[in-house]
Amino acid sequence: MIRHQIYAVTALLLAVALTAAVADTRLSPSQITAGLQGVSGTQLSMTAAQLRQSAVDNIQNFPGQTPPPGHLLVIPNLDKLAQFTVEVNFAFNSAAILPGSYRDVGAIADALHNPILLGYGILIIGHTDAVGTRIYNLGLSQRRADAIRAALIGPFGVNPAVLEAVGVGEEQLQDRMHPDAAVNRRVQLVNVGKRFCFGRGGEQFQCP
């Protein structure tokens, strides 16, 4: 009897420890804020519309099931900007955000409401894996990026004027050796610089 009680207590403690470990790995607003606040004087050299067109051009100029070696989409200056990558889960072949990922979208919203990031423009870049055709994945990634933008604006109240969304499909695979891997399905948040400034009374205006 005592032995069974010891096993039960041990199992309970293990379950609590595992729960704590899972909790520790959850995305927090402070992590996102820290990733996005390192602002430099570098500017993204492409608008969202130009970036979209660049992804289309990459598919047309370098056809194939996946981008050929050496022809992943290059976004000038992107690596010099403050950014944070988030895994947001969607329903299969859909732009519907799964309920389990709304906590992470809420964490993004909390970070964007932080005074440190207030007024900064955020580009939401959606990526897919290589399952499906490249042109289809381009459209799917755009719909998913748009869905995240809409969720940040709607339920979470982020200023729509500071958010832009663009999908690049599988044109920037993170793990080219495993194009269907989950690591390729991701969302990049990029701080593209100050959009709005604030007066002494808290009034908002376009930065000069």
Does 102 score more than 80 pLDDT?
yes
The reply to whether 6 falls in a domain is: no
Confidence at residue 22, expressed as pLDDT on a 0 to 100 scale: 36
Q: How many domains does the chain have?
A: 1
In tens, the pLDDT along 21-36 reads 333 357 899 999 999 9
CA distance 30 to 34: 6
CA distance 119 to 154: 18
Q: What burial class does residue 65 get, using C-beta atoms within 10 Å of its C-beta: 0-12 exposed, 13-18 middle, 19+ buried?
A: exposed
Mean pLDDT of the chain: 84
The reply to whether 82 falls in a domain is: yes
Q: Are 164 and 189 in contact (CB under 8 A)?
A: no
In tens, the pLDDT along 124-146 reads 999 999 999 999 999 999 999 99
Report if pTM > 0.75.
Answer: yes
CATH number for the domain including 48?
3.30.1330.60
The structure tokens 């389990």 sit at: 100
The structure tokens 């950014």 sit at: 83
Confidence at residue 206, expressed as pLDDT on a 0 to 100 scale: 67
Confidence at residue 14, expressed as pLDDT on a 0 to 100 scale: 37
pLDDT, greater one: 61 or 21 = 61
The reply to whether 109 falls in a domain is: yes
> Which domain covers residue 192, as residue numbers?
27-206
The reply to whether 174 falls in a domain is: yes
